[in-house]
Structure 1
Amino acid sequence: MDRSVPALIVKIGAYPLHHGGVGAIRSLGRLGVPIYAITEDRCTPAAASRYLKGRFVWPTTGREDPGRLVDGLLRIGRRIGRPTVLVPTDEEAAVLIAEHAAALAGPFRFPRVAAGLPRRLASKQGLHELCVEHGVPSPAAAFPRSYADIEAYAGQARFPVVAKNREAFLRRRRPAVAGTTRIGGPSQLLALARGWGPRPGVILQEYLPREDAEDWIVHAYADASGAALALFTGVKVRSWPPYAGMTACAYVVDNPELAQMTARFVERIGFSGTADLDWRLDRRDGRYKLLDFNPRMGAQFRLFENAAGVDVVRAQHLDLTGRAVPQGDQRAGHRFVVENIDLPARLVYRGRRTAPHTPRRPAGTELAWFAADDPLPFFTMLARCVGPGARHLAELRRTRRAAAQHRR
């Protein structure tokens, strides 16, 4: 590693309990790379890491004018005082960097990509269109522009379907739906749609039955030519919220077919940088269908590392500092667990058969929060979870009731 080039964790919006940022701090910090982070306040888990050289307390919402955000990043760059690798942890940051590359290029290093591509990938509609354009399977989808469009769709759709927000950025504003929403029939769809306004910002998507599907994860880093210098595959075992949320537990599983599909798609669209992709294997037709393409590091990226000790964050730093990225096999059978969300997820998934392809016993386990050489982020996370504990328990009860109804 080039220890003369620091890195900066860039986040936009308020989500202090982000284990991915902590993982990136540890990944580079353990190798002696000076690493800085933007934090919501001084008491976030990331701010407590022993490997963090400096923090910049800068609370944002994601609704700010982009020019103001660029100015803020430039001020941070001047304070660091030397060229710095940017590591975005959310779509807002990835899109901002791509669309204002010329202004940020002086103090920062980051993968160069077509300015509009990250925004298009972060959009459910944009990603679907790219999949159609390049022959990549994805769930059948509709993008209604009015209530009349939804009425027409309800009259011919095969239910159940799922509704999602069309643009990722709506998470920071006023989303039409709360995450992925399963809709059982036309009457339920029409009732929900009355609250979506005259121009519904939703995607209505084919429902892939859980009992006939497998959830796969791919993490990759591609260089300026679109060639994948690091690429990993794994299976998601549990998520929170259940079946449609953040990874709570996952395993590294070799999947050459999926790796090849991903590498080919990344190269064809001309993407450069770190990416986190969610695929679902539909056993009914035997095809992998692309659900999400996040143009930034995934929160669970530390699940993946090759025999040379390279993960996607290290691959990005090596590439952007002119170093070769060492190759090696991924550590198959390794497990990743997010302690604070896997505990409630286990209760919901209790009795569900183990995901296919996962070993009976993990080859090793990477915890998202606790590390013997850096314990403070774990305890800071626990302290911040005490307040929302009652809300999480209520959410767990609602989720278990919904899961029981679905099984019936």
Structure 2
Amino acid sequence: MARRGVRLGVDRSVPGLIVKIGRYPLHHGGVGAIRSLGRLGVPVYAVTEDRFTPAAASRYLAGRFVWPTTGREDPRRLVDGLLRIGRRIGRPAVLFPTDEEAAVLIAEHAAELAGSFLFPRVDPALPRRLASKQGLHELCAAHGVPTPAAAFPRSYAEIAAYADRARFPVVAKNREAFVRRSRPAVAGTTRIGGPDRLLDLARDWGPRPAVILQEYLPGEQAEDWIVHACCDEHGAVRVLFTGVKVRSWPPYAGMTACAYVVDNPQLAAMTGDFVRSVGFAGIADLDWRLDRRDGRYKLLDFNPRMGAQFRLFENTAGVDVVRAQHLALTGRPVPEGAQRAGHRFVVENIDLPARLAYRRGRTGPHGPARAAGTELAWFAGDDPLPFFTMLARSVGPGARHLVQLRRAGRRAGTAGGRFT
């Protein structure tokens, strides 16, 4: 591992800090980032909910800061907390946000954080706009990027008018990304089969519904694609990877459970053009859906931070998006190389229920007949404790997964050290 670190030219004097806001202790993306940099000899610190999260158990973690947050705190308090962490680390660290709240906080308070941390500078308003379903839709329209047709109703009357003209089924999503800050209108991506169901649900959305009603892209006529990229402040795309999502949890609309690296030059070019045109800098995780009915890739989500499945992607020089950002922000060259086509990523604790659910319903897109290699989200021979910590903490969530699996099967047949 040390030899690869020398070959990449990483600056081991500059640590990394995994930043999260809100409670989601079973996050394999944070573990992946700790391992990715830690294996190169870079000291990695992490914000954790408590001392017993998988990330806190990694052998590659240089230090943890137990700092429970909800996402509802005043931003000033969150900035002050990050600055205290920076003082504890004692030297500037590269920031790696794992959620939209953290990415937006860093962008909007860059001036206060700049002395203690390293991160790409970007238009302060851009990450919040990209994370918002409405903001992203508007940016796509402005830059000619295909995206599903959508409506943004401001009242129940507008929803009723939409119900009269819409082609069902439709999809309801929360308009803003920060659903942990308040009671969300919908639990997640919700498929609505007809106007009566829409009107029934809308009665609970309040006088100013914070939802987006979006065109439904039928799964049997679509493919789900993911793109991960790292861009610098000068508009250069340092690395960009493309892959296909085979299964997700919850089924068809949730977190990636299994994915493959698949070369897609057309999608890579579309993504590169879009991130440059909007002026984004940093790590991005984008979800696209190929609509086979018209042959167009349509952008569904733009997450202005590293994706939980980023370790799916690495080029032949050993560079992933996390390593690329650390290299770029420390003034080191980012080696080029081809992506590892055919490589597979599996999230052990959610892929089993996802696999069963997909067997009961429609199938998703397929990867290569044989994987060129598999990266597991949790288990690693050189760092096993996060896997066992995940298992210990998955007892309750595992029971909920079984309940969700039963519901998904029924739907498939019809549907549609404490730090303060």
TM-score bin, normalised by smaller chain: over 0.9
Partner of 1:44: 53
- Write out aligned runs for 1:72-91 (5 A): 72-91=81-100
Partner of 1:396: 405
Partner of 2:335: 326
Q: Does 1:364 align with 2:373?
A: yes
Partner of 1:244: 253
Cα distance change, pair 406–179 in 1 and its aligned pair in 2 (3 A)? same
Letter in 2 for 1:44: T
Q: Does 1:164 align with 2:176?
A: no
Task: Give the alignment's TM-score, normalised by structure 2.
Answer: 0.96
* Partner-residue secondary structure (3-state), 2:233: coil
CA contact (8 A) 1:253 1:357 kept: no
Q: Distance in 1 between matches of 2:278 and 2:339?
A: 25
Q: Distance in 2 between matches of 1:57 and 1:389?
A: 25
Q: Does 1:186 align with 2:213?
A: no
Letter in 2 for 1:327: E
Letter in 1 for 2:114: A
User: Offset of 1:225 from its aligned partner?
Assistant: 1.5
Q: 2:284 aligns with which of 275, 285, 291?
A: 275
Greater CA drift, 296-305 or 149-158: 149-158
Letter in 2 for 1:106: G
User: Offset of 1:226 from its aligned partner?
Assistant: 2.0
Partner of 2:303: 294
CA contact (8 A) 2:246 2:366 kept: no
Q: Does 1:260 align with 2:269?
A: yes
Q: Does 1:406 align with 2:415?
A: yes
User: Offset of 1:391 from its aligned partner?
Assistant: 2.0
Q: Distance in 1 between matches of 2:146 and 2:45?
A: 39
Letter in 2 for 1:275: A
- Write out aligned runs for 1:2-401 (5 A): 2-350=11-359, 356=365, 358-401=367-410
Q: Distance in 2 between matches of 1:265 and 1:21?
A: 26
Q: Distance in 1 between matches of 2:369 and 2:399?
A: 34
Q: Distance in 2 between matches of 1:355 and 1:59?
A: 37
* Partner-residue secondary structure (3-state), 1:405: coil
User: Offset of 1:390 from its aligned partner?
Assistant: 2.2
* Partner-residue secondary structure (3-state), 2:212: strand
Q: What are the superposed Cα offsets for residues 363-385 of structure 1, whole Å, 9 maximum, x if unpaired? A: 00000000000000000000001
CA contact (8 A) 1:5 1:34 kept: yes
User: Offset of 1:319 from its aligned partner?
Assistant: 0.2
* Partner-residue secondary structure (3-state), 1:387: helix
What percentage of aligned pairs have identical amino acids?
A: 83
Letter in 1 for 2:236: A
CA contact (8 A) 1:13 1:172 kept: no
* Partner-residue secondary structure (3-state), 1:350: helix
Q: Distance in 2 between matches of 1:326 and 1:352?
A: 43
Q: What are the superposed Cα offsets for residues 176-208 of structure 1, whole Å, 9 maximum, x if unpaired? A: 001000011111100000000000000000000
User: Offset of 1:341 from its aligned partner?
Assistant: 0.1
CA contact (8 A) 1:225 1:267 kept: no
User: Offset of 1:223 from its aligned partner?
Assistant: 0.6
User: Offset of 1:171 from its aligned partner?
Assistant: 3.5
CA contact (8 A) 2:220 2:362 kept: no
CA contact (8 A) 1:278 1:292 kept: yes
Q: What are the superposed Cα offsets for residues 110-145 of structure 1, whole Å, 9 maximum, x if unpaired? A: 000000000000000000000000000000000000
Q: What are the superposed Cα offsets for residues 267-303 of structure 1, whole Å, 9 maximum, x if unpaired? A: 0000000000000000000000000000000000000
- Give RMSD over aligned pairs: 1.0
Cα distance change, pair 354–189 in 1 and its aligned pair in 2 (3 A)? closer
Greater than 4 Å deviation, 4+ residue runs: 351-357
Letter in 1 for 2:343: H
Q: Distance in 1 between matches of 2:247 and 2:329?
A: 34
Cα distance change, pair 84–30 in 1 and its aligned pair in 2 (3 A)? same
Q: Distance in 2 between matches of 1:251 and 1:258?
A: 15
| Residue ranges of structure 1 left out of the alignment (5+ in a row) | none
Q: Distance in 2 between matches of 1:243 and 1:355?
A: 8
Task: Give the alignment's TM-score, normalised by structure 1.
Answer: 0.98
Q: Distance in 1 between matches of 2:311 and 2:362?
A: 25
Q: Distance in 1 between matches of 2:361 and 2:194?
A: 26
Q: Distance in 1 between matches of 2:367 and 2:104?
A: 35
Q: Distance in 2 between matches of 1:306 and 1:391?
A: 37
The total of aligned residue pairs comes to 407
User: Offset of 1:353 from its aligned partner?
Assistant: 7.4
Letter in 1 for 2:153: P
User: Offset of 1:340 from its aligned partner?
Assistant: 0.1
User: Offset of 1:170 from its aligned partner?
Assistant: 1.8
